[in-house]
Amino acid sequence: MSVVFALATPPAKSAICVFRVSGSGCLKKLGDLFDKEGFRFGRFYVNDLFYKKNIIDRVGLIVFKGPNSYTGEDSFEVYAHGGLGVMSSIVRAFKDVGFDEAPGGEFTKRAFLNNKISLNEAEAVSDLIDSTDERGVALSSKSLFGELSKRVVSFSDEIDSIRVRVEGDIDFSDEDNEYIDESLVKDLKNLCNRFDSFVAGCVNKKFGYEKNKILLIGPVNSGKSSVFNRLLGFERALVSNTPGTTRDLISSELFYEASSFSVFDSAGIRDTKDRIEEAGIAASLSQINDADLVLMVFEDYDPAALDRFKGLCGDKPFINIQNKIDVNKPNNSFDCYVSAKSGAGFDVLKSLIVSAFDVGAKKDDFNFIIRDRHETLFKKVVLDLSKSLMGLSGGDSIELVAEDLKNARSHLDEMVGKKFSDSLLGDIFNDFCIGK
């Protein structure tokens, strides 16, 4: 494989940028890049990086000797100042010595091909990067550190053990030895039940990373957009005293403690003849059905308005909030009292949001996070194991039972990457970010 490089940090102005380089022969070019040789493996160096005899930057350098590296190949990393000009110059320098730009996921792909990690562990790298809360991190980390692979391999070994006993009956059917007995049926049934439980403890990534949706609604000029901005910690929505300023749904992500949410600000609800504002209000009302939690924001106590908005929520959970307590006296008819201007009460509000979703209870609902590919393979394993058990219990052909067990084992091999195709690798690693 060729020597490849990639920027491992975002291509934007920052304090530090990181470049990764990997491939046989990359270490031979260190002398051209640094005007120095004899770098020891695993040590951090501070050295000048050159391009056409001109110094680009004084950078940090770590050199790794394969197979003791992330990719299993000779590799090195460069830590430079995060200026756009510096990044461009380093890219030109790397290309000048013959390095190729790496596509997304190339380094992790090489780690898999060089037997540094299993295929599902490689996928877990991407899942960990995509994680937005503590639950996602915990589930992805378990797969990344090999716990999922160990479970799969353990089931594979159990299937092999049962296959040996079944195929023993085929090979020695003319002898007096009995390989098929009640204990074999019992063991296979036990295996089926435990594998079913294992699969039930896995959650598909597309559901596991789905964020709870929070919708803010309220009368015009209740300070709803100000509450939205204060929740996020930055000015995301336009704030004005002019009624009807917010007309389109505005969304952003809210991160609080170990939780993350998708938060939507909506148009203030009132009777209006403005067609554009009216369309915005209609969109707000339609979003209530898709929301997991509704935050109702009011300026002051208005029993009729409270009842109206509660009716709009239907059976959706909600928190009614009194804003502007820096101006108006708090009223005990509300669940929470805040001042978007001063920030008072927002710790209480965020705690109420977390409690509404009972996020803590969800952390232990599942053991592993999986993808569509894993889910499909697991379903095939369940089917093959069920067929083998029915065949064994019903006196079907032993050859068919053995074939079902063989197929189940084959699906598990595909799960961890003992069997794979180029198209499968393309599907997996094309979703990775550049530099990983």
**pLDDT digit string (tens) for 192-237?**
999 999 998 888 887 666 678 899 888 887 888 888 888 887 665 4
Lowest-confidence region among 61-75, 147-161, 304-318, 325-339? 304-318
Residue 88: pLDDT over 70: yes
Instruction: Identify the residue with better confidence: 279 or 333.
Output: 333
pTM higher than 0.85: no
The CA distance from 211 to 251, in Å, is 12
Q: How many CB atoms lie within 10 A of CB 256?
A: 18
Residue 240: pLDDT over 80: no
The CA distance from 347 to 40, in Å, is 51
Domains of the chain: 4-113 (3.30.1360.120), 121-201+368-416 (1.20.120.430), 212-362 (3.40.50.300)
pLDDT digits (tens, 9 = 90+) for 247-282: 456 778 777 766 778 888 877 665 555 554 455 556
Does residue 22 contact residue 43 with C-beta atoms inside 8 Å? no
Q: How many CB atoms lie within 10 A of CB 275?
A: 8
Does residue 74 contact residue 27 with C-beta atoms inside 8 Å? yes
What lies within 8 Å, CB to CB, of 39 at 6+ separation is: 27, 30, 45, 61, 63
Amino acid at position 60, single letter: G
Q: Kindly list the distances between the CA atom of residue 276 and the CA atoms of 218, 240, 246, 273, 280, in Å, as whole numbers in the listed order.
A: 18, 17, 11, 9, 6
pLDDT digits (tens, 9 = 90+) for 19-34: 999 999 999 999 999 9
Q: Kindly list the distances between the CA atom of residue 154 and the CA atoms of 139, 148, 150, 168, 357, in Å, as whole numbers in the listed order.
A: 19, 10, 6, 21, 36
**pLDDT at res. 244:** 43
* Position 403 confidence tier, pLDDT thresholds 50, 70, 90: very high
**Average pLDDT score over the chain:** 84
Pick from 326, 332, 286: nearest CA to 306: 332
**pLDDT at res. 65:** 95
Residue 360: pLDDT over 80: no
